[in-house]
Structure 1
């Protein structure tokens, strides 16, 4: 049975990702280009989103993997992952990401000239940040591709042995109010003992904390679906409990980092609060999604297909607009609105008229090729239906 709430959550979380990257233009943290005025207060809502926005995407991806693998052999699934992840990554690195590096180099005075002076002659010289070749925001794709391939044997074993000990244990924990919180133990160990020695780089090679942390979350998504215990119903029933845990977790975590100086005790405390907080919010979001979002709609069908190309396109659009806004003497609100509306609007135009309607272009952005008898708005004609 298709989970429309999972589709909605995927769309909404990727939408928040776009807003988060718009926010990166204004906060004190390092990013590719920065506004001429920085707004310190914005870091607090950004910190809230930053706790769970990427973890929930990996969990949702693991859930989707369960459904995708149910209809395919291991080899078929690996080929599907190559088509859906590797090809868009390659296209993105060749065509979509280079404008981001170009505008960053212009903003920092590291390059002068037009874009055709930069691409392709300079765009692929050296590895970013010293060089120009990068996957930037598309780092999610190689990590997800790697996780999908290396976990195929484990996923097939779980699929073919639904009554194994691990899945029985998961089913038992689901029946306890706080049972699923046992899953934060591996996350805590990674946060406490790996993160200090392997800071996040998104470079894949040597990025051990990121690899370990997110592969567990991806695996958890598969486990929750493979358990065949009604996770969605359980999450909906306990959504208020999970929400309270999230509110308490974020409040105490924020108070900890604002109150206490860095120390060993603070580090281990902060690590626990962080994983407790993010897992609480993930469970709460799934619970409220199951309660209110498990409904089909034409809007959902459109957005669910559009979200992947939007993800690939959006940061390039944001940085391109931001370059021409960064030195203007405008306030936060007009710049934020222009960046947000411009990112969504231009991404939609590129998707609707440059990707969605073209059979040869669709696979380059991770979309399935439609039957030829689809009309221009993506609806099967009477003859085809």
Structure 2
């Protein structure tokens, strides 16, 4: 929405981004304890409450990032030229990605190789082997993770941003969101499930691309929130029912790929994701359409927090994996210590050093000050 020559700030979307960043942090903490493959696992796994948490959050956490990114691109292209937009994408996404691949990724691969008995020796002895083969998945033999492990989101978002420029340039304005889209858009997501490209974070790249485009054209539409609010009871019921069905079905036994049962399961999971996104957007608009000091701080810390969180989690997890504590004690310790270390690094170091601000995807101090004064 335009106010004179300025684009109105939607604080609810900012809140969603900040809270989603914290949730992905908790999700990766849970990966240390659940039965899913990951870089490092605890000496005791949990297939009950931690698995349920992982399944619930994993159903919507990365789709919400891509939908918010699509919305941000919609507003961003109203404020800057295509060339300025491309430059901003490479600086804010490309630089942290390269930094993460070269600096933050090697220690994580090293820890994975140590815990899987695939390497013995110091990190300095391992580092020359970092470029030996391409890292493709957990437990493989290649070491070079060109996508930065958890930073794959930055790579995919950068590609999506560049790939969709011709489309967004041709038709920049969001379309009118109608009730028929509640059926049409999730149906397209279900049909996209037949196109297998690359699964990342629980969903296929085509799924993320559609969600990204939805954010640009539909979720950023001015009437989107009003339509969702008028039908929220239905979405809430669907979200609750499909969440219960999806999680129980998964825990009873994942359907065999290529079967009709698997297609129905994927459909339920897709509808669950779609309904949860609508509920999240509704709750954010209803209760979080405000700005305060916490939001301003959280918005600034989101990117460096995201870039830094997994390496810190893996390091702390490595130190406690064989300690004879109960799972709840380890979980609380992992969350609290990791969060504290990340925030200390950001608050006392990263945000005060211009080079680090750029490496972690932040604006320079001068640009950040100008933006704050203009807000």
Deviation at 1:104, TM superposition (A): 1.2
285 and 355 in structure 1: CA distance in 2 versus 1, 3 angstrom threshold: same
TM-score, length basis structure 1 = 0.87
1:20 matched to 2:27: yes
The one of 137, 143, 147 aligned to 1:132: 143
Distance 1:72 1:66 in 2: 11
5+ long unaligned stretches in structure 2: 1-7
- Asked if the contact 1:187/1:216 (under 8 Å) is kept, the reply is yes
- Deviations 1:167-220, CA, capped at 9 Å, x for gaps: 2xx43x2xx3x64231012210122x234xx56268xxxx9x722111000000
Name the structure 1 match of 2:77.
Answer: 69
TM-score, length basis structure 2 = 0.89
1:52 matched to 2:60: yes
Distance 2:299 2:293 in 1: 10
288 and 226 in structure 1: CA distance in 2 versus 1, 3 angstrom threshold: closer
Deviation at 1:304, TM superposition (A): 0.6
RMSD of Structure 2 on Structure 1 (CA): 2.5
SS in 1 for 2:152: helix
- Alignment of structure 1 residues 330-341 onto 2, 5 Å: 330-341=325-336
Name the structure 2 match of 1:223.
Answer: 217
Distance 1:216 1:17 in 2: 21
- Asked if the contact 1:237/1:287 (under 8 Å) is kept, the reply is no
Name the structure 1 match of 2:199.
Answer: 200
5+ long unaligned stretches in structure 1: none
Name the structure 2 match of 1:182.
Answer: 184
Distance 1:158 1:340 in 2: 44
Distance 1:275 1:188 in 2: 6
SS in 2 for 1:56: helix
Distance 2:363 2:279 in 1: 32
- Alignment of structure 1 residues 343-362 onto 2, 5 Å: 343-362=338-357
- Deviations 1:41-74, CA, capped at 9 Å, x for gaps: 0211211111111111100110011111111222
Deviation at 1:258, TM superposition (A): 5.0
Distance 2:54 2:161 in 1: 29
1:146 matched to 2:159: yes
1:213 matched to 2:199: no
Distance 2:199 2:54 in 1: 17
SS in 2 for 1:127: coil
Deviation at 1:156, TM superposition (A): 1.5
The number of equivalent residue pairs is 358
